């Protein structure tokens, strides 16, 4: 443990600010990317493929071809699912040598892995909305086990996974201490 914590705190604060700026600046284009990839994966697994995910700023509007035209469309706020990039950059910033090649490569690999986590989180949350929030349609199309599984997955990610994913990826990809 370092005797003087001020350098680590300063690096952590700089990493937090860098992560926040990155997250805030790229949230709209990242929302479009997540919508496109998540929709493609969901439609691949659906028979018939009916899900449409439309990025509207930082929100995904969830639509289905089989929804009545006049029915409201649920939305999913992506900032809640993707803010863990801030935690990830903060953790990598407090390394002994934050600008070393190994640390930067670790951050990039962890960030790419986090994209996969975000895609999975979008799919699980959309399925949770389908299973729980669409009234009679949900009850007709999802049984009790499916409703509980999708709900538990979405709840787990929002409570534990959003932060746990950042810490786990940091642990996996951080440079070894010498």
- 167 in a structural domain: yes
Q: Which domain holds residue 161?
A: 6-173
Which of 6, 14, 56, 13 has the alpha carbon at shortest distance from 31?
56
Angle (deg, nearest 10), helices 101-132 and 162-173: 150
Distance CA 14, CA 173 (A): 20
- 150 in a structural domain: yes
Give tens-digit pLDDT for 27-41.
999 999 999 999 999
- 1 in a structural domain: no
Q: What is the pLDDT of residue 2?
A: 54
- 157 in a structural domain: yes
- 10 in a structural domain: yes
- Domain total of the chain: 1
Q: What is the pLDDT of residue 67?
A: 86
Joined together, the tokens standing for residue 109 give: 């690999």
- 178 in a structural domain: no
Assess contact for 53 and 32: CB atoms under 8 A.
Answer: no
Assess contact for 86 and 23: CB atoms under 8 A.
Answer: yes
Give tens-digit pLDDT for 69-91.
888 899 999 999 999 999 999 99
Distance CA 7, CA 34 (A): 36
Give tens-digit pLDDT for 94-148.
999 999 999 999 999 999 999 999 999 999 999 999 999 999 989 999 999 999 9
Which of 97, 107, 78, 116 has the alpha carbon at shortest distance from 18?
107
HSE-CB for 11 with a 13 A CA cutoff: 13
Q: What is the pLDDT of residue 50?
A: 95
Give tens-digit pLDDT for 11-24.
999 999 999 999 99
- 89 in a structural domain: yes
Joined together, the tokens standing for residue 49 give: 């493929």
């Amino acid at each position: 443990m370092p005797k003087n914590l001020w350098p680590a705190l300063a690096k952590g604060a700089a990493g937090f600010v860098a992560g926040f700026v990155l997250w805030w600046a790229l949230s709209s284009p990242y929302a479009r990317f997540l919508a496109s990839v998540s929709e493609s994966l969901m439609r691949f697994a659906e028979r018939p493929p009916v899900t449409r995910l439309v990025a509207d700023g930082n929100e995904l509007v969830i639509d289905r071809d089989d929804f009545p035209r006049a029915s409201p469309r649920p939305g999913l706020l992506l900032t809640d699912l993707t803010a863990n990039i801030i935690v990830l950059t903060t953790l990598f910033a407090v390394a002994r040598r934050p600008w070393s090649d190994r640390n930067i490569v670790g951050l990039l690999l962890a960030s790419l892995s986090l994209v996969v986590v975000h895609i999975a989180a979008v799919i699980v949350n959309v399925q949770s909305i389908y299973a729980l929030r669409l009234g009679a349609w949900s009850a007709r199309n999802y049984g009790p086990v499916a409703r509980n599984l999708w709900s538990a997955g979405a709840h787990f990610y929002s409570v534990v996974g959003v932060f746990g994913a950042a810490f786990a990826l940091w642990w996996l990809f951080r440079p070894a201490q010498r």
